[in-house]
Amino acid sequence: FFMQKETQDDNNLLKNKGPFTLLSKVTKLNSKIIISSNDNHKFYGYIRGFDKHCNLMLEDVTEIWKEETSDSRSSKKKTIIKEKFVPKLFFRGDAIVLITIAE
């Protein structure tokens, strides 16, 4: 019982204090978000859940990143933008640099 009570208190804190207010609001309003990760990838999708460590459960996610390639015939480097769709994604909180609301 004590663990259940402690978990309920943690959940109330998550919804009512600091940056977690934004995550709760975005989740309830079903707003699209943009996440910048520590490897310079961007993720566009919808938050379906989160915890106190800022781990996120995301749906309908598009991952976008840049890759540099070099042409074997010349010394020029070319930047290619790559994209991948992921229907469901668990995003670990310690990899998040920035979360913004997509408009």
Per-residue pLDDT of the chain (103 residues; tens, 9 = 90+): 333 444 555 555 555 667 788 888 899 999 999 999 999 999 999 999 998 889 999 999 999 999 988 877 777 888 899 999 999 999 999 999 999 998 7
Number of other residues whose CB lies within 10 A of the CB of residue 86 = 13
Angle, in degrees to the nearest 10, between helices 2-16 and 19-29: 90
Q: pTM score, two decimals?
A: 0.78
Residue 66: beta bridge partners? 81
- Is the torsion defined by CA of 86, 20, 92, 2 positive or negative? negative
Check residue 99 and give its pLDDT: 93
